[in-house]
Structure 1
């Protein structure tokens, strides 16, 4: 799983060359600093959701553990692999959205021949510790988890459904 880093007010996050400042940060001498306490997860860590349909979510696997991958690998989270209970009630679009960053586990690997050899990893988020760790609202703000199935925009206070990960302390880097 991808580690997250705890940041506190005053922590240097990145250069203005590499990032664009958003809410909860301030600029000083060409760098972006945290003005809030929270967790930082780089956008390219974990799996990034690329498309959704009623049966599954397609993702790009960008990290394995804390190791960045040189190539992008494709993965699929099937509707029945989203959560451990009430699998028949899962609505994929209420669990993930394109652009979300998720923590997931590999269930299996398959090669599909559709004129071109394609590799695909079957993933699961059917544990409390797995699911969406970073999501952005329609306003562009990073959303805050408010329950196991909802996140809220800190700017507009609108709520959106997600399968929220309960990230365990051992996967957080201080």
Structure 2
């Protein structure tokens, strides 16, 4: 009984003709769907129809859930959203990375119509965000940075230096002193390294 792959709630696993539903699943329209975030396990007993289940092992409780604070890396941006790779849940590294999306309207809490994605994030930035939706098998986790504590925490300038935040919307390169726009996170004291 080895974990086969990760799944999220609502993901279609297989047909009822292929397997019997087990723990962490539900049936709808002749198919078996996952009701949990976890690992898909297929088990056959005595030559009977295999039972498909979704389980959480000791590490899989580290799957992002709605309301969780995550740390992610910006992979690409376009005028409507930023695509990210979720690497940490809280301060714990995830076994598997997950894809996420930060939509233009979820970047800031105010003046949402004036937000420009390229002035908030750049590919390579490290961002602290909150999960607002789990998505499904075809889409990503939906994330938000619309709180003061959320946003870019690490960014590199074109000169390759780690930039320093100078306001909630700008970071500065210590080498060239060039300023670049970002949606900067106000890091809470408990997350600062001593």
Q: TM-score, normalised by structure 2?
A: 0.62
2:120 alignment counterpart: 95
Q: Give the whole-Å Cα distance in 1 for the aligned partners of 2:138 and 2:177.
A: 41
Tell me if the contact between 1:46 and 1:63 (Cα under 8 Å) persists in the aligned partners: yes
Q: Give the whole-Å Cα distance in 1 for the aligned partners of 2:71 and 2:128.
A: 6
2:150 alignment counterpart: 130
Shift in Å, 1:119? 4.9
Secondary structure of the 1:85 match is coil
* Residues matched between the structures, number: 125
- Residue deviations 1:27-51, cap 9 Å, x none? xxxxxxxxxxxxxxxxxx8200000
1:108 alignment counterpart: 133
CA RMSD of aligned residues (A): 1.2
Q: Give the whole-Å Cα distance in 2 for the aligned partners of 1:84 and 1:101.
A: 20
Bigger Cα Rg: 2
Whose relative contact order is higher, 1 or 2, with alpha carbons under 8 Å and at least 6 apart? 1
Q: Give the whole-Å Cα distance in 1 for the aligned partners of 2:180 and 2:160.
A: 13
Tell me if the contact between 1:73 and 1:119 (Cα under 8 Å) persists in the aligned partners: no
Q: Indicate which of 164, 170, 179 corresponds to 1:150.
A: 170
Alignment pair present for 1:164 and 2:189: no
Tell me if the contact between 1:102 and 1:133 (Cα under 8 Å) persists in the aligned partners: yes
1:55 alignment counterpart: 80
After TM superposition, what 4+ stretches of structure 1 lie above 3 angstroms from structure 2?
none
Shift in Å, 1:110? 1.1
Q: Give the whole-Å Cα distance in 2 for the aligned partners of 1:75 and 1:67.
A: 17
Q: Give the whole-Å Cα distance in 2 for the aligned partners of 1:144 and 1:68.
A: 24
